[in-house]
Amino acid sequence: MRDMQIHKNTSLKALNTFGVDANTKYYCEIHCRDDIAALLDWKAANKVTENMPNLLVGGGSNLLFKSDYEGLVSQICLAGKDIADENEQYVYVTAAGGENWHDFVRWCVAQQFAGLENLSLIPGTVGAAPIQNIGAYGVELADCFESLQAVDLETGEVFEYHKSACKFGYRESIFKSQMLDKLLITSVTFKLIKEDKNPEWKMDYAGVREFLAGKEPTAALISDAVIALRQCKLPDPAVIGNAGSFFKNPVLSLGEWQALKADNPNVPGWEQANGLMKTSAAWLIDQCGFKGYRQGDAGVSEKHALVLVNYGKASGIDLWGVAQEIMASVENKFGVVLEAEPRVL
């Protein structure tokens, strides 16, 4: 049996892609089921739930630490992936919560399993992907999601969640709301279609079709297109600290949308299934002049108005200050309230 270590006063700088220099009071790594059992024992013995917060971290690519974390941070390092089941048309692939998301997508692509290719190059882990129902290039995780397994952090009970129980929405799920910090997602199963069984390729988004230049689509070609497009548009967190899009695209009622459109005829909008309209947070922020804005070491990417960046020594408070300036400015100019996409702690 592995002896799980609980470390005291550990730096989180390498554990958040903003590169913010914050510490956690306690830190451990979860590599296997025994580590989960040891974590539950330690939590019970140290009254974590009553006296101390408890945070699970995968790749730290959707977190902003405004201050030191006065609790226990557990990094999920569970590894492994396998084909759980298959039939003539579909394959069910299960990956452990600590698997790197992009490596997993590329593995599926290499096996000619289609469905996740549009989600290439999103940082983070498999276990965190359902939390905000990650999405990009016209696809969301929910489109290929079959089920997940999770351990209740209070009782140690294991639960299986099927799609309808996850309450997936736009960058939302039950794990980001009611069940936040209550469950450790140990594995996720995806239903993927075999590439020779006519997958419905999603190419009508932000230059994917143009990148293919008339070639017959394959999961590998679409994945390559998405990677190339993302590399042009988004700053690499290995080079400059960021958490991808910092704001969600606002979803407006028809009345709010019509009022916005009447004053701003060029504002982009996309109809939603429920009669609501989604508009572009990037467009609104750009109109307020924030692209390339900088306040000390905290700023907005020159490549993308939605991406807050840490030029070096920005603290979480510095970055949150810029976020608040942007939110106030957009609300003042357009009457639209922006919501942060990453978790702000």
Ligand X SMILES: Cc1cc2nc3c(=O)[nH]c(=O)nc-3n(C[C@H](O)[C@H](O)[C@H](O)COP(=O)(O)OP(=O)(O)OC[C@H]3O[C@@H](n4cnc5c(N)ncnc54)[C@H](O)[C@@H]3O)c2cc1C
Q: Which residues are catalytic?
A: 171, 245, 341
Q: By the 8 A CB rule, do 246 and 293 touch? A: no
Q: Which of 48, 109, 128, 219 binds ligand X (CB under 6 A)?
A: 128
Q: Kindly give the pairing relationship between strand 63-64 and strand 69-76.
A: unpaired
Q: Using the minimum distance from each CB to ligand X, give the nearer residue, 163 or 343.
A: 343
Q: Kindly give the pairing relationship between strand 251-252 and strand 277-279.
A: antiparallel
Write down the least CB distance from residue 307 to ligand X, Å. 7
User: Looking at 134-142, 156-164, 201-209, 265-273, which segment touches ligand X (CB under 6 A)?
Assistant: 134-142
Q: By the 8 A CB rule, do 300 and 235 touch? A: no
Task: Pull the structure tokens for residue 145.
Answer: 């999601």
Residue 49: CB atoms within 10 A of its CB come to: 14
Q: Using the minimum distance from each CB to ligand X, give the nearer residue, 89 or 272.
A: 272
Interacting positions 215-234 with ligand X (CB under 6 A): 234
By the rule CB under 6 A, 244 interacts with ligand X: yes
Separation CA 276–CA 98 (nearest Å) = 35
Q: By the 8 A CB rule, do 323 and 299 touch? A: no
Q: Using the minimum distance from each CB to ligand X, give the nearer residue, 60 or 199.
A: 60
Q: Using the minimum distance from each CB to ligand X, give the nearer residue, 131 or 260.
A: 131
Count of residues making up the chain:
345
Q: Which of 118, 120, 132, 223 binds ligand X (CB under 6 A)?
A: 132
Write down the least CB distance from residue 289 to ligand X, Å. 23
In the stretch 250-289, what mask flags binding to ligand X with x, by CB under 6 A? Answer: ----------------------------------------
Q: Which of 4, 38, 57, 174 binds ligand X (CB under 6 A)?
A: 57
- Find tokens 């079959």 and name the residue: 146
By the rule CB under 6 A, 61 interacts with ligand X: yes
By the rule CB under 6 A, 59 interacts with ligand X: yes
For residue 161, the 8-state DSSP code is: E
Separation CA 214–CA 204 (nearest Å) = 13
Angle (deg, nearest 10), helices 219-233 and 101-110: 150
Nearest residue to 187 via CA among 80, 107, 39: 80
Separation CA 233–CA 246 (nearest Å) = 14
By the rule CB under 6 A, 4 interacts with ligand X: no
Write down the least CB distance from residue 301 to ligand X, Å. 10
Task: Pull the structure tokens for residue 340.
Answer: 């942060």
By the rule CB under 6 A, 38 interacts with ligand X: no
Task: Pull the structure tokens for residue 341.
Answer: 């996409």
Write down the least CB distance from residue 196 to ligand X, Å. 28
Interacting positions 169-198 with ligand X (CB under 6 A): 183-185
Tally of helices (H runs) and strands (E runs) in the chain: 9, 21
By the rule CB under 6 A, 31 interacts with ligand X: no
In the stretch 105-124, what mask flags binding to ligand X with x, by CB under 6 A? Answer: -----------------xxx
Write down the least CB distance from residue 112 to ligand X, Å. 23
- Site residues, ligand X (CB under 6 A): 17, 55-63, 76, 97, 122-125, 127-129, 131-132, 134-136, 183-185, 234, 237, 242-244, 343
